[in-house]
Chain A
Amino acid sequence: MARKKNRMSQEVNAGSMADIAFLLLIFFLVTTTIASDKGILNVLPPKLDPNNPPPEIDKNERNIFTILINANDDLLVEGEYRDNANGLDEDIKAFVLNFGRPDEEASALFNTLPASLQALSARDQDSSDHPGEAVVSIKTNRGTSYEKYLEIFDLAKKAYFDIYAARVNLDTDEYRALTGKDEAEEALIDKGKEGIPMAISIAEPDKIGS
Chain B
Amino acid sequence: MAKFKKKTKTSENIPTSALPDIIFMLLFFFMVTTVLREQEILVEQKIPQATQLQKLQKKTLISYIYIGKPKNTALYGSEPRVQANDALLNSADIVQWVNQERDLLPESERGMITISMKVDKDVKMGPISDVQTELREADARRVLYASVGKVVKN
Provide the residues of chain B in CB contact with A149, threshold 8 Å: 125, 128
* Contact indicator B125/A144 (Cβ below 8 Å): yes
User: Is B85 part of the contact surface with A, judged by Cβ < 8 Å?
Assistant: no
* Contact indicator A47/B50 (Cβ below 8 Å): no
User: Is B105 part of the contact surface with A, judged by Cβ < 8 Å?
Assistant: no
A interface, CB within 8 angstroms of B: 14, 17-18, 21-22, 24-25, 28-29, 31-47, 140-147, 149-151, 153-154, 157-158, 161, 176-177, 179-181, 204-205, 210
Given contacts A18-B23, A25-B23, A147-B121, A39 and B53 within 8 Å (CB-CB): yes
Known: A40-B144, A44-B136, A47-B139. 9 other contacts (CB 8 A): A18-B23, A28-B31, A42-B142, A42-B144, A44-B135, A45-B141, A142-B129, A145-B121, A161-B52
Q: Chain B: interface secondary structure?
A: mixed
The docked-state distance in angstroms from the alpha carbon of A42 to that of B131 is 14
Identify which of A22, A31, A47, A181 contacts B23 (C-beta below 8 A).
Answer: A22
Residue of A nearest to B126 (CB): A142
Interface residues in B97-125 (C-beta closer than 8 Å to A): 114, 116-117, 119-125
Provide the residues of chain B in CB contact with A179, threshold 8 Å: 55, 57
The docked-state distance in angstroms from the alpha carbon of A145 to that of B68 is 12
Q: How far is the CB of B20 from chain A (nearest CB, A)?
A: 4
Identify which of A21, A143, A161 contacts B24 (C-beta below 8 A).
Answer: A21
Q: At the interface with chain A, which of B2-10, B71-79, B86-94, B145-153?
A: B145-153
The docked-state distance in angstroms from the alpha carbon of A27 to that of B100 is 36
